[in-house]
Amino acid sequence: MGNRPEELKRLLDSVAAQAGDPVQVVVVGNGAALPDLPEGVRTMELPENLGIPGGRNAGIEAFGPGGTDVDVLLFLDDDGDLPGRDVGELVREAFAADDRLGIVSFRIADPETGVTQRRHVPRLRASDPMRSSPVTTFLGGANAVRTAVFAEVGGLPDSFFYAHEETDLAWRALDAGWGIEYRADLVLHHPTTSPARHALYHRLVARNRVWLARRNLPLPLIPLYLGTWLLLTLLRRPSGSALRAWAGGFVEGWRTPCGPRRPMRWRTVWRLTRLGRPPVI
């Protein structure tokens, strides 16, 4: 968004400091002008804010159609940085060791405390963020994706704008037979924040949750999945304004087009269940 020039510089410096072959970099200005950037960094200024998935999809195309000029793409939030110099090499080794590994999710840690928020561990059993494991989704601002995944299942859903776009891609990747790993040793420093800081958070979370289910789940699971999230939302006792925004988004998710429907196979449902997160929660 062009409003974090110091943080962006710190991130780019940390990427440039990675051991091994240099990491190619493109910075996308999502409806915003970009500051002066280091030599060798490619830039892309979009005329309007396309949202998180739209901006990332645009960045993918900077590396050829579907990103095919490279084997793996990293996505890093502009207010984070890589504290270790071995992240690039560890990512390369992870994908080289398993040709069906499609996505790697990094561990996000606060730079001051080292604490990883529970919501940043992409599994239900999130009490131990230092444990790496196979997972069913990933963190959008700290991950690596094999470009062959995009070639097979498509990119992030542009229309989501913000929230749940990672899970949409993850479910499609898992349905195509790719694996997803959470790696605790791949760290992105990022200050502790609340997702509710985004003005549209509650509405888009609710709308996109409905779209996610409508696009990807077998019909019998849609009411189970959305009913579970409705119950969990109420148990969290949101404020009146938050609940109204959430309800508006929930209704919007049913009334508006969700994009192409490609329900996952039942064997994928079983795979998600074995991985610890059946697609009803």
For residue 107, the domain's CATH number is 3.90.550.10
Q: pLDDT digits over 214-239, tens only?
A: 999 999 999 999 999 999 999 998 99
Look at residue 34 and tell me whether its pLDDT is greater than 60: yes
Residues 187 and 244 in one domain: no
Percent of the chain with pLDDT over 90: 94
Residues 162 and 207 in one domain: no
Q: How much is the average pLDDT of 146-150?
A: 98
Residues 38 and 117 in one domain: yes
**DSSP 8-state code for residue 3:** -
Percent of the chain with pLDDT over 70: 99
224 belongs to a structural domain: yes
CB-CB contact of 116 with 76 (8 Å)? no
Nearest to 120 by CA among 169, 80, 168, 63: 80
Adjacent-strand bridge partners of 180: 103
Residue 195's pLDDT is what? 73
Domain count of the fold of the chain: 2
Residues 227 and 169 in one domain: no
Residue that terminates a domain, selected from 159, 193, 227 = 193
Residues 164 and 260 in one domain: no
Look at residue 203 and tell me whether its pLDDT is greater than 90: yes
Residues 249 and 128 in one domain: no
CB-CB contact of 103 with 150 (8 Å)? no
Residues 157 and 244 in one domain: no
Please state, in angstroms and rounded to a whole number, the distance separating the CA atoms of residues 249 and 164: 13
Nearest to 15 by CA among 195, 155, 144, 170: 144
Look at residue 198 and tell me whether its pLDDT is greater than 60: no
Residues 121 and 160 in one domain: yes
Residue 194's pLDDT is what? 75
Residues 85 and 114 in one domain: yes
Residue 77's pLDDT is what? 93
For strand 101-109 and strand 179-189, is the pairing parallel, antiparallel, or unpaired?
Answer: parallel
- Which band of pLDDT confidence, cut at 50, 70 and 90, is reported for residue 82? very high
Radius of gyration of the chain (CA): 18
Please state, in angstroms and rounded to a whole number, the distance separating the CA atoms of residues 37 and 10: 11
The mean pLDDT of the chain is 95
**DSSP 8-state code for residue 72:** E
- Which band of pLDDT confidence, cut at 50, 70 and 90, is reported for residue 1? confident
40 belongs to a structural domain: yes
3-state secondary structure of 13: helix
3-state secondary structure of 71: coil
Please state, in angstroms and rounded to a whole number, the distance separating the CA atoms of residues 153 and 175: 9
227 alpha carbon, distance to own chain's centre: 24
Q: How much is the pTM? A: 0.96
Look at residue 58 and tell me whether its pLDDT is greater than 70: yes
For 260, the domain range is 199-274
71 belongs to a structural domain: yes
Look at residue 197 and tell me whether its pLDDT is greater than 60: no
Residues 239 and 116 in one domain: no
Residue that terminates a domain, selected from 147, 175, 193 = 193
Residues 34, 15, 160, 163, Cα dihedral to 10°:
-120
- Which band of pLDDT confidence, cut at 50, 70 and 90, is reported for residue 240? very high
Backbone phi, psi, residue 190, to 5°: -155, 130
Q: How much is the average pLDDT of 110-133?
A: 96
Residue that terminates a domain, selected from 130, 162, 193 = 193
